[in-house]
Amino acid sequence: MSIPEAQQQRLKELFPEVFTEGGKVDWDRLRLTLGEQVDVGKERFGMNWPGKADCFKTIQQPSIATLAPAREESIDFDTTQNLFIEGDNLEVLKLLQKSYLGKIKMIYIDPPYNTGNDFIYPDNYSENLQTYLEYTGQVDGEGRKFNTNAETDGRFHSKWMNMMYPRLFLSKNLMKEDGLVFISINDGEVNNLRMICNEIFGEECFVTALIWKSRQNVDSRAQSGVSIDHEYIVIYCKSISRLKGKEIDKNKYSNPDNDTRGPWMSNNMLGLATRAQRPNLHYDLTDPETGIMYSCPESSGWRYSKEAMDQKIKDKRIIFPKKIDGRPREKIFLNELSSTQTNFSSLLDEDLVGHTLNGTREVRDILGENIFSFPKPVSLLKVLVEQGSAEDDIVLDFFAGSSTIAHAVIKLNLENQQRRRFICVQLPEPIETGQSSNKDFKTISDVSKERIRRVIAHVRKEQNEKQTEAKKTLFGTDLKDIDLGFKVFKLNQSNFNLWKTDTEKSAESIIKQLELNISHISRDASQEAILFELLLKSGFELTTLVSKEAIAGKSVFSVAEGELFVCLEKELTLELIKGIAEKRPSRVICLDQGFQNNDQLKTNAVQIMKSKGVIKFQTV
């Protein structure tokens, strides 16, 4: 250790409060500590860190990307309501803003815990898409890569917070008013996460921090002498919401005396107030049949006043003991309960939710090898999904990892015969050499998609076996049609050519830009890719039903059962325009180049659409 480092260490021992992130000394804070007067400016309560201002620039910067369909990697592409999106989640969240605004009931994320080796996202937010395209090899670049966030970096926590803040901010927009967000985290960043969420969601929207015993066996390697066996699941709501709770044990209710009010259970009637605190709750209770008197303890008293207790005796709601040393109890009737749910414990039952070891075994059983470190078990996420969502709700995970959330949704849907929907977003982070023996697993997103496929294949096999067995009996099968598919989309450049403002000012570069923009549609763009980009821009979900129709010898896409018609033909005719208008959709989109500079045809198209009640006719 050098002399300056040694001196700094001595200073830290005396004044730990003056050191900031990265071990730097805040000299103004040191002067304040030593009793000097320092003008600190206007003070206000809140949280600040280097780069926070840039977070808002990032949020406000619109995305110029699109989500391209990958039909060949999907299952039941045309009918499924489930989504897997491969790409940088910041760009993806921006692209989903219009189509999924206020539609997501539950968000679960398991972000990087910032342990020093975690994958971290780029700092150059203004070039996010370009950085991503270079990273994934979609365009030529100079080897720019995303890096890990080392603890030796002077902005170790700030980098993590700069990555999390805009993503959480954008995700809030997607949530329903009664939506919930569940965030897995450990001690390293839980305090910073809470502060970020308090600012974005509001301190009053904090629901709880569940404690999960993630480690099954004690860690004897810890130098502190403490085995950190738990993690947190921090929960916030958008406005007003609550967890579903736990179903009560109805087996505790019975009706041994054939009470006309139905099954009941006995309940303790002792209160909490001493005689000095509530003298009116301290009295003797008399059995009207035997005349035996029962007193209450001096330290507690009864739960009800004498008048209320007399009414309960009259209504035959009090059970008197058969022994003189017993204590009267109250009948609680099942059909009089305001709810059959009890509150959900913040301490997760390890027998119910499992440990990290269970998640590791699940991944190995499905994929044949251990690829991920510390994956969450399906049992844990299944409990969370059950608490945070219901039938037909959308569950979003934009740090999907191995897509455990998709596995949990499919399994829960199967068990409860429901149709929750999932959206998984995962960056195509390269798998390190030796991490997998499967040559097809080049990225984390490859593994993630394959896990979903294998889970679906396994469930379909089980379903077919059950249906086969059911046919052998007199009874059919009541298996509900569970959605066992998913659509794959990939983050890519827009199909519409954009003028690049950062183009070099040389004549050659400008001429090249002009040539690219003669046709504003990319020459490599397929009709389906253009269609889905238009759906996103028009506010339609990526799983909206789309059918292809032939009108006047041309292909036309009918969206949402005819609400929108999209024609991407490069040569439009009057017959085609009339044919589309006769369908009376609310909106119509056509390619501008389809009119081939025929202004008269375009003018007629506008009038024809208007005459048939088309609310919006648009060319792109």
Q: Give per-residue pLDDT as tens, 459-496.
A: 999 888 887 776 666 555 555 688 999 999 999 999 98
Per-residue pLDDT at 382: 97
- Residues 6 or more apart whose CB falls under 8 angstroms from that of 480 comprise 417, 418, 419
SS3 56: helix
Domain 54-71+88-246+343-430+463-488 superfamily per CATH: Vaccinia Virus protein VP39 (3.40.50.150)
Per-residue pLDDT at 128: 62
Partners of 587 in the beta sheet?
564, 616
The string of pLDDT tens digits covering residues 343-392 is 999 999 999 999 999 999 999 999 988 888 789 999 999 999 999 999 99
- Residues 6 or more apart whose CB falls under 8 angstroms from that of 604 comprise 574, 577
How far from 378 is each of 185, 382, 481, CA to CA, in Å? 17, 6, 22
| Rounded mean pLDDT, 33-54 | 76
User: By mean pLDDT, which of 318-332, 429-443, 444-458, 563-577 is the weakest?
Assistant: 429-443
Residue 143 clears pLDDT 50, i.e. is over it: no
* Residue 315 pLDDT grade (very low, low, confident, very high; cuts 50, 70, 90): very high
Per-residue pLDDT at 125: 43
How far from 459 is each of 252, 466, 488, CA to CA, in Å? 35, 11, 20
Element (H, E) at 580: helix 574-582
Per-residue pLDDT at 23: 74
The string of pLDDT tens digits covering residues 336-356 is 998 888 899 999 999 999 999
* Residue 572 pLDDT grade (very low, low, confident, very high; cuts 50, 70, 90): very high
The string of pLDDT tens digits covering residues 406-441 is 999 999 999 998 999 999 999 998 887 667 777 788
Say how far residue 122 (Cα) sits from the centre of its chain.
22
Question: What is the pTM (predicted TM-score) of this model?
Answer: 0.83
- Our CA dihedral for 163, 169, 170, 172, rounded to 10 degrees, sits at 140
Backbone torsions φ then ψ of 5, nearest 5 degrees: -65, -40
Residue 154 clears pLDDT 60, i.e. is over it: no
Q: DSSP letter string over 438-494? A: -TT--BHHHHHHHHHHHHHHHHHHHHHHHHHHHHTSSS----------BEEEEEEE-
Which amino acid makes up residue 240? I
Per-residue pLDDT at 126: 42
Question: Percent of the chain beyond pLDDT 70?
Answer: 86
Question: Percent of the chain beyond pLDDT 90?
Answer: 63
Backbone torsions φ then ψ of 444, nearest 5 degrees: -60, -40
* Residue 269 pLDDT grade (very low, low, confident, very high; cuts 50, 70, 90): very high
Token pair for 140? 């030529």
Domain ranges of the chain: 3-42, 54-71+88-246+343-430+463-488, 250-336, 494-619
Whole-angstrom Cα distance, residue 311 to residue 329? 14
Residue 321 clears pLDDT 50, i.e. is over it: yes
Residue 116 clears pLDDT 90, i.e. is over it: no
What letters, b where the CB count within 10 A reaches 16 and e where it falls short, cover 9-24? eeeeeeeeebbeeeee
Residue 403 clears pLDDT 90, i.e. is over it: yes
Decide which of 22 and 291 is more confident: 291
Backbone torsions φ then ψ of 333, nearest 5 degrees: -90, 135
The string of pLDDT tens digits covering residues 516-525 is 555 678 888 8
* Residue 529 pLDDT grade (very low, low, confident, very high; cuts 50, 70, 90): very high
User: By mean pLDDT, which of 28-37, 39-48, 162-171, 195-204 is the weakest?
Assistant: 39-48
What radius of gyration, in Å, describes the C-alpha atoms of the chain? 32
Residue 556 clears pLDDT 60, i.e. is over it: yes
Do residues 379 and 334 touch, judged by C-beta distance below 8 A?
Answer: no
Pairing of strands 175-185, 230-237: antiparallel
Is 109 buried (19+), middle (13-18) or exposed (0-12) by CB count in 10 A?
Answer: buried
Do residues 543 and 487 touch, judged by C-beta distance below 8 A?
Answer: yes
How far from 294 is each of 302, 329, 512, CA to CA, in Å? 11, 11, 97
What rounded mean pLDDT belongs to the chain? 87
The string of pLDDT tens digits covering residues 173-187 is 999 999 999 999 999
Residue 272 clears pLDDT 70, i.e. is over it: yes
Do residues 418 and 391 touch, judged by C-beta distance below 8 A?
Answer: yes
Is 1 buried (19+), middle (13-18) or exposed (0-12) by CB count in 10 A?
Answer: exposed
Residue 87 clears pLDDT 80, i.e. is over it: yes
Per-residue pLDDT at 371: 83
Listed residue (290, 275, 346) closest to 321, CA to CA: 290
HSE-CB of 154 using CA atoms within 13 angstroms: 6
